[in-house]
Structure 1
């Protein structure tokens, strides 16, 4: 999940890049979780909504762990892109669900 940044020419670079990115992930996962917990998203079906909520909750926990590691090491660790990409794809999926949900709500 995390990798030490040995001999990094700019030690603050990883921290300056990752902190805002992790905050963005947390923000979007939080919004998505709120929607999934408070609304019935008919086009997902009960099982699909439950699955998406589970994946969002898991991702939130993973992001929080990454944030703690970044803080504890004072930005001396990084995240592999193999960790970041699934979060990015999940945020994109959540955006699509949110947009479709809002569009369907406005049709009423």
Structure 2
């Protein structure tokens, strides 16, 4: 492969990876925000604490991944096995957002 093509592919991979990591970071932060305003009727304290701990671990994993990418002299990718728990957390955040929205709607109707 032409070295310039390798360089272009590496830049593209780095851009895609950073975009993906930024997305995870955004949703993990959004999850934290939702947990701070989440009523007990939507999610109990114990369950909120557990989700908060998993979001913190996810955020730490994103920071660690960024550090590894930055330290590497070669373009990197992340395996689906590594990202799968992050996807699960994002799905939980979306579910929590939906539950809070329904709860608030129901509160305004009563």
Distance 1:107 1:74, change over 3 A: farther
CA RMSD of aligned residues (A): 1.9
TM-score by structure 1 length?
A: 0.81
Shift of 1:16: 1.9
The structure with the larger Rg is: 2
Give SS of 1:36's match.
Answer: helix
User: TM-score, normalization: structure 2?
Assistant: 0.80
| Structure 1: stretches of 5+ with no match in the other structure | 1-7
Cross-structure match for 1:90 = 89
Match runs of 1:22-101 below 5 Å: 22-73=21-72, 76-101=75-100
The structure with the largest helix share of the pair is 2
Higher strand content, 1 or 2: 1
Gaps of 5+ in 2: none
Runs of 4+ in 1 over 4 A off after TM superposition: none
For the residue of structure 2 that corresponds to 1:79, the secondary structure is coil
Closer, same or farther in 2 for the Cα pair 1:74/1:39, shift >3 Å?
farther
1:32 Cα deviation (Å)?
0.7
CA contact (8 A) 1:26 1:63 kept: yes
